[in-house]
């Protein structure tokens, strides 16, 4: 059994982790969400920016021909649809913990887990 962090979708609803069996079939999923305000590096890069751009509040075109500090723009969806740094870090911890797991689950004759 392995875990894989799924890529971001265009409209963010949660950070998704798939749990896959030895054949690559998804057998479970984990969905994470937080109301933390800081965007993850994956989200920042999806906006065409770097972590340094965000940290230094780089001036960017606001779409109206003005230069505005990035944290004051509407890069972040007003509805809060962006991946938070806390959630991304937690997802990485979960994926690493599952993928380093030594014991195997007991399976039935068809290879399905008997319990989790």
| DSSP track, 46-103 | HTT--HHHHHTT-EEE-SSS-EEEGGGSS-S-TT--S-BHHHHHHHHHHHHHHHT--S
What's the pLDDT tens digit per position in 24-56?
899 999 999 887 778 889 888 988 899 999 999
CB 14 within 8 A of CB 82: no
pTM comes to: 0.69
Residue identified by tokens 């994470």 is: 32
What's the pLDDT tens digit per position in 47-91?
889 999 999 999 998 778 889 998 888 766 556 678 888 899 999
Rounded distance between C-alpha atoms, residue 40 and residue 101, angstroms:
26
């Amino acid at each position: 059994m392995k875990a894989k962090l799924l890529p971001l979708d265009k409209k963010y609803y949660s950070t998704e982790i798939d749990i896959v069996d030895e054949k690559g079939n998804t057998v479970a999923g984990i969905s994470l969400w937080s109301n933390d305000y800081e965007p993850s590096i994956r989200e920042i890069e999806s906006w065409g920016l770097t972590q340094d751009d965000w940290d230094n509040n780089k001036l960017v075109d606001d779409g109206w021909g003005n230069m505005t500090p990035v944290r004051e723009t509407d890069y972040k969806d007003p509805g809060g649809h962006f991946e938070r740094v806390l959630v991304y870090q937690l997802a990485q911890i979960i994926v690493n913990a599952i993928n380093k797991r030594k014991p195997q689950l007991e399976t039935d004759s068809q290879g399905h887990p008997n319990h989790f």
